[in-house]
Structure 1
């Protein structure tokens, strides 16, 4: 067994969000010298179970293994399941795979066939499957015209007022997360997610119910005119975290 190969694969797993829990089983499988093998891994994310199967294959020309892909299966609270295979050249992490299966987009640096790098939002088409049983991956390039920061500024989101909190919010949404925010003129907190397909953001209440942006903006306007919920700095405890729904 190539020890350097083992260490490289351990780093790949860690970088992909699988931690170090699989390291012992990875080493065991590599020592057996199989042509290919799979490692199982189950986690709970946002109170939902996700089962992963990580696929490894040995090179035909050398004594080295490659982590080629992983299968992710999301178990919904209603008993339904969503699954897809993600390949290493897509550089998608375990949490990003979960977000994609939740139909939330992720912003990635990608490469075309000529090796040129470009940025795009990717999102699974969960309504369709190709001949391999996989959901097609939709892409919304920068030139498509979606501006996340501009879209967020269409609402008086308190977290957009501070540089650090704004950066955390933008980073989180680009990872495909739901993110908790406070909105001036409104009581309580809300959840936001990027929606590049329609060049806007999606807003949810604390129960996960999606809100109509037009109605929300009107309510904010009326509340602010009445002097309710004026803009305030967020409380000192950490806000703007990714929320469980």
Structure 2
């Protein structure tokens, strides 16, 4: 095992935002010098766990490994409860009373494996096969039962995308996780075929067919020529964090990574509230969501115009006059 190569790969994994624990797994896999190996990572998503598979390949000429790509899968299965695991039980031809059990750290992988079975099989979750809860079953390769509360994630196909890397450069784990959830990210190190760098907001194009490798194409909005200005867009809304330079920078950085960020807004009725916002460069705006992910009307969070401010001020003075005269105000 080449120790310099190990340190370089550890740095690449760290810089791209993957779980630091993968560094120990890297060393374990590289010691035996396999021609190829993968590592697994996960991040939480809006509708379920987002799985990532990192691919490492050894050179044919040396013991150097390269980290060339990672695959991302976003399904709709809630995170796995503590001390429980997803499992697929298949028929054991040698002992029909004791089925074969395969456990999975990812619900998306468990569902995919279950759907590929040809015989009698069960998809379940639990602390052990003996205490499992049945989620789905099939007989002779045909699904004959899916638990009512599991039907939505079971029948909804997950979003899959492969992200390629070039010497440790590419989309980060956070950016990729957000892109498969239909969000847009910003990169300032994109490169043309001639080797020139440029900036762009980028999203996965879900409106056109996938490419020959099964990937969604990238839709790019060049910065600044496309015309989306994050600072100007933010300034249109009454967001409390914009008044603090440090919080403003954190907010912009999170939005450049495609994050849905919690902000404090003041609505048209002057009520302050917590809500989530994300940048939508495609339409030159922000989208807002409540804690349950439900879309909110952005107009209610826009800054008041001069006329609206004058009206509000006038209404306030009128109420003060009414109070001074002993008139009840409702």
TM over 0.5: yes
| Counterpart position of 2:162 | 85
Residue in structure 2 matching 1:141, options 210, 215, 222: 222
| Counterpart position of 1:63 | 63
| Counterpart position of 2:192 | 112
Contact 2:45 2:74 in 1 (8 A): no
How far apart are residue 46 of structure 1 and its match?
5.6
| Counterpart position of 1:100 | 179
Inter-CA distance 207–218: structure 2 relative to 1 (3 Å threshold): farther
1:23 maps to 2:23: yes
Question: Within 5 A, what are the aligned runs for 1:203-242?
Answer: 203-214=288-299, 217=302, 225-226=311-312
Inter-CA distance 44–203: structure 2 relative to 1 (3 Å threshold): closer
Mind listing any 5+ residue stretches in structure 2 that lack a counterpart? 78-151, 314-330
- Between structure 1 and structure 2, the one with the greater Rg is 2
- 1 CA distance for matches of 2:25 and 2:58? 16
Tell me the SS of whatever aligns to 2:31: helix
Higher alpha-carbon deviation: 201-210 or 36-45: 36-45
How far apart are residue 22 of structure 1 and its match?
2.1
- 2 CA distance for matches of 1:104 and 1:212? 18
Structure with the larger RCO, 1 or 2 (CA within 8 Å, 6+ apart): 1
Tell me the SS of whatever aligns to 1:86: strand
Contact 1:186 1:223 in 2 (8 A): no
Contact 2:183 2:258 in 1 (8 A): yes
Q: Over aligned residues, Cα RMSD in angstroms?
A: 2.5
Mind listing any 5+ residue stretches in structure 1 that lack a counterpart? 228-245
| Counterpart position of 1:159 | 241
Inter-CA distance 224–29: structure 2 relative to 1 (3 Å threshold): farther
TM-score by length of structure 1 reads 0.83
- 2 CA distance for matches of 1:65 and 1:224? 66
How far apart are residue 62 of structure 1 and its match?
2.6
Tell me the SS of whatever aligns to 2:199: strand
